[in-house]
Chains A and B, each alone.
Chain A
């Protein structure tokens, strides 16, 4: 097993402005991000051999097929595939395109993720996305509530007073909101304070409004080709170092071993990704991260699961500024899901877009100094029943 490392590279990317895009259809967003990527890549539309499209929420449905990609971008008779893997749908589209190119089946592939959540009509993700059996047997839960459970268990496990715990989590959101102010395409671009976070309305205890990411519309895409071809097409292609995904087999929810205070699939995907990318000390080697901060607690546990912070000690790094934009491993340099919101099909590719721009030195005001390796972490599902996708990207 040789893995994906350095076999394929990204030669162009696009990302729309995320937000309440009541003026734009899903098709508009798809086309907008595609035109940016095409221009960035320097290739022509006809050079694209195949495409993968991610879109996951029924209520914003573009049809359970990727034909809409061809008919929107007008790519006649191109092979297209639709992917869905809950909130990791965008990364799943990216994986499909990368593996297709790595296999030699195609020279150039497109991965595009889109979601139009603001056509749902109410806040949060629409319920009932996890299948009919879960709807019958599962609790009447929402995404914030599912993740809030993990926060309560984390506090209990490490003996953290709930008020203190909320304050620790607040640091994470304050940091991301700061980064979001430097990010023109972000939905929420406003500084917030610890007090703002603590005083915000409670969504699902202990998570308040500012512990939760926004709900937005958006689309992002990447054009992928072989490493050899990429070098000829541009001077700064970004290489794929690892693509890993890990999904529970139900033991977290049904067997009695998981502690409820971390995300096991993130930990497993991380281990495999570091091996694939030949990273031995992530805390020292990783330059920056875009993790799945759907909620503040998800970001905290990702630090520990991805081993950039020791187990049970993320608090120290949060409070010391380790993950701030000027810290040792900036996390969510663009503001993350917190500020971009989470159009589920698009988020994975939006994370990759940020790492891509940072590695090329094109991240403007929020540019991190000389980054070499960046990681994205895109999680689908809920802490007790989920999958996690980890992507590592680098300059050669």
Chain B
């Protein structure tokens, strides 16, 4: 049986109430709306959110059978340098893995899922991973700025131990140009929303769903949940009526708590639905973007055994208010600010060196001495234990999944960061090993000696002159979801 073996999600900690947007720029245009949207921190992007969702999905599961990784997004940082390769390295997937970026449409999340099911079904991959992620930028004062949210979802596709079996799919492709960005655009450009609704999703979503029902001889009432994110949340109920659904089949579109997360939108709603699903439930997942995909799943008994996942429900509770619209503009580099001469200081990144250090940098690998058993970070050739003389007796040892305890910390107003102060710490890892890391997603007043932290993959710096996003690991206060 082919299906989803595990799943996960990620929602950035910052949430901006749409009233904050309205208060800041509502004088110009009637923007805002209900609830809040998720906002990535300054050091997050589509890649880092995909890694976070991937880590949530994998937990301590064996990742050695993952033969393929599909990264789906419309906001991948690199046009050339495979983004999926970065995610693969951060998730410590094996080197002989097939990786691909699936992009250019917000239906890329479901497209990647279909590709993963096909790969496993064809036995080209024993297991495949899908990460769908987006942090689309709405132009200030645009309806998109308020409606969009940042987030990611991830799935482990397998032919055994599945929590939801994949029963089939149906797709449509239309060059329906509702929103587009060319290579120079930071912000999407749209056509009239009424046209997008009436000629677009009000026609295409029913078409793809009825196509799937017909293909598999099903009725809409057969499903416990039907997922169909609408670009405008207000249309969800009308769509349900159009589809002949019972109100109980409607799923939360997360619009008031996260926002429209693009390629990750339908996948995140799917994760949310799986988190409350019961064995035997049938779930229909449809996406909309230059056509539509529709996928159909059946939940198995194994759903009760997946305990490690924070998912959408867990990450919804890990939050901090972003109350300052200007801060959001600075995070997104929409508003240039004076960084001072210290902030201009970006030395070159030696790519020959970062390649040598790739396990350390991307996978947070250190090593463990086979003679004395001391875990150490980064990789050493001579054991750091002063009482051990071992040389070249190390095995690779990954720290990314380990908790740590803070032994010292500070919040620094002198160091340049787009989100001051820069907090950092020395941490002792559970099981041994120690080093110094930046903090992120923390409240400086709540840091303390002895607090527990986990590791998260982030941008450490951006070198605009040389087009280097330097990714590395930071500490975040451990929060139980």
Contact = CB atoms under 8 A, between A and B. Distances in A.
A104 B472 CA distance: 51
B377 A141 contact: no
Interface residues of A, number: 43
Contact of B342 (A124, A135, A201, A207): A124
A122 B341 contact: yes
B-side interface mostly: mixed
Given A127-B342, A139-B437, A254-B434, A260 B407 contact: yes
B415 A145 contact: yes
B449 A144 contact: no
Contact of B377 (A136, A204, A254): A254
Interface in B172-209: none
Interface in A7-26: none
A146 to B, nearest CB: 8
Contact of B472 (A136, A157, A202): A136
Contacts of A193: none
B410 interface: yes
A49 to B, nearest CB: 39
Contact of A254 (B380, B409, B448): B380
B438 interface: yes
Contacts of A203: 412-414
Contacts of A253: 426, 434-436
Interface string A114-145: 00000001111011100011011111111011
B470 A139 contact: no
A205 B411 contact: yes
Contacts of A142: 412, 414-415
Contacts of A256: 428, 432-434
A72 interface: no
B417 A140 contact: yes
Given A140-B460, A202-B413, A121 B341 contact: yes
A206 B275 CA distance: 43
Given A141-B422, A260-B407, A249 B415 contact: no
A202 to B, nearest CB: 6
B431 to A, nearest CB: 10
Interface in B373-390: 374, 376-378, 380, 384-386
B374 A141 contact: no
Contact of A153 (B340, B386, B408, B433): B408
A81 B222 CA distance: 84
A203 B412 CA distance: 6
Contact of A260 (B426, B435, B438, B470): B426
A132 B409 CA distance: 23
B436 A152 contact: no
Contact of B374 (A135, A202, A255): A255
Contacts of A249: 384, 386
Contacts of A105: none
A207 B414 CA distance: 11
Given A122-B341, A141-B424, A205-B444, A136 B470 contact: yes
Contacts of B354: 136
A135 B436 CA distance: 12
Contact of A145 (B350, B376, B424, B435): B424
Given A121-B341, A122-B342, A145-B410, A254 B433 contact: yes
A156 B450 contact: yes
A153 B407 contact: yes
Given A145-B412, A149-B408, A254-B434, A127 B345 contact: yes
Given A139-B424, A156-B449, A255 B384 contact: yes
B384 A149 contact: no
A254 B410 contact: no
B380 A152 contact: no
Given A142-B415, A255-B434, A260 B408 contact: yes
A142 B432 CA distance: 26
B41 interface: no
A334 B22 CA distance: 58
Interface in A167-226: 201-205, 207
A58 B219 CA distance: 72
B410 A148 contact: yes
A150 B448 CA distance: 12
Contacts of B461: 140
A137 B436 CA distance: 8
Nearest to B461: A140
Most buried by B among A126, A150, A255, A260: A255
A205 B416 CA distance: 15
Interface string B59-76: 000000000000000000
Interface string B357-385: 10011000000000000101110100011
A152 B410 contact: yes
A149 B472 CA distance: 22
B424 to A, nearest CB: 4
A203 B340 CA distance: 16
A76 interface: no
Given A136-B472, A256-B433, A260-B408, A128 B347 contact: yes
A122 B415 CA distance: 11
Most buried by A among B407, B417, B421, B422: B407
A128 B436 contact: no
A233 B361 CA distance: 58
B433 A139 contact: no
A50 interface: no
B413 A204 contact: yes
B140 to A, nearest CB: 28
Contact of B415 (A135, A140, A202): A140
A384 interface: yes
A250 interface: yes
Nearest to B425: A149
Interface in B323-359: 340-342, 345, 347, 349-350, 353-354, 357
A259 B407 CA distance: 8
Contact of B426 (A122, A204, A207, A384): A384
A251 B386 contact: yes
Given A121-B341, A140-B415, A255 B435 contact: no
B381 to A, nearest CB: 12
Nearest to B417: A140
B394 to A, nearest CB: 13
20 contacts: A122-B342, A135-B347, A136-B357, A141-B422, A142-B412, A144-B412, A145-B415, A149-B426, A156-B450, A203-B412, A204-B411, A204-B412, A205-B444, A207-B410, A250-B380, A254-B384, A255-B384, A256-B433, A260-B408, A384-B436
Interface of A: 121-124, 126-128, 132-133, 135-142, 144-146, 148-150, 152-153, 156-157, 201-205, 207, 249-251, 253-256, 259-260, 384
Given A137-B361, A142-B412, 8 more contacts: A133-B378, A135-B347, A149-B410, A157-B449, A204-B412, A204-B415, A250-B384, A259-B407
In the complex, the 3 A-B pairs of residues with the closest C-beta atoms, listed nearest first: A145-B412, A139-B424, A149-B408
